Amino acid sequence: MQGEIERNQWKTFLEEFSKRNQLRPTSLEIIGGDIGAQEEEKFLPFIGASFETKGEEAGSVEIMLGGETAADSRELTHTIRNAQRIVPIVGIKGLEDGLGIEDKDGVKTLLRFETLPEIEDTTSAA
């Protein structure tokens, strides 16, 4: 994959990526040979991503998504065990559009930043 982040930089990269993109609306898709393409969620705000270096989860990447307020209890933590590659998804304008992560079995997790649909203008101009 092009633009791959070196493994020894994963922890720092994910910390900085999380700060830059916090609360952006997302979609999360898992793509693998056995499961095809599966959309996990759409429009949950991005909370952060981390790389685990110790303990039972060493080598795993966690993606945390959730509501912006305590009143919004929607949340999702997706764990990619035995991560092998991390690649930023860069859009046409050169901005970060998301993140691609591949595990040892070739299953890809695609975190994409979404644009929220416009709220239709229902006010009259009169």
Question: Where do the domains of the chain lie, and which CATH numbers do they carry?
Answer: 7-112 (2.30.29)
For the chain, percent of residues with pLDDT exceeding 70: 88
Q: What is the pLDDT of residues 16-73, one digit of tens each?
A: 999 999 999 999 999 987 777 788 888 899 999 999 999 888 899 999 999 766 667 7
DSSP class of 8: G
pLDDT at residue 126 greater than cutoff 60: no
Average pLDDT of every residue of the chain: 88
Res 115 pLDDT > 60: yes
Q: Is 86 in contact with 101 (CB distance < 8 Å)?
A: yes
pLDDT of residue 85: 97
* Measured CA distances, 60 to 39, 89, 105, 125 (Å): 20, 19, 13, 54
Query: Alpha-carbon torsion 102, 103, 106, 111, what sign?
Result: negative
Instruction: Return the pLDDT at 37.
Output: 79
Give the predicted TM-score (pTM) of the model. 0.83
Q: Give residue 116's pLDDT.
A: 75
Cα–Cα distance measured from residue 107 to residue 80, given in angstroms and rounded to the nearest whole number: 9
Residues pairing with 87 in the sheet: 100
- Element housing 117 (H / E): none
Query: With bands split at pLDDT 50, 70 and 90, how would you rate the model's confidence at 97?
Result: very high
pLDDT for 1 equals: 45
Given a contact cutoff of 8 angstroms between Cβ atoms, the answer to whether 38 and 29 are in contact is: yes
At 122 the pLDDT is: 61
Mean pLDDT of 102-121: 86
Give whole-number Cα distances, 43 to 34, 58, 70, 81, 106, in Å.
Answer: 26, 29, 17, 24, 26
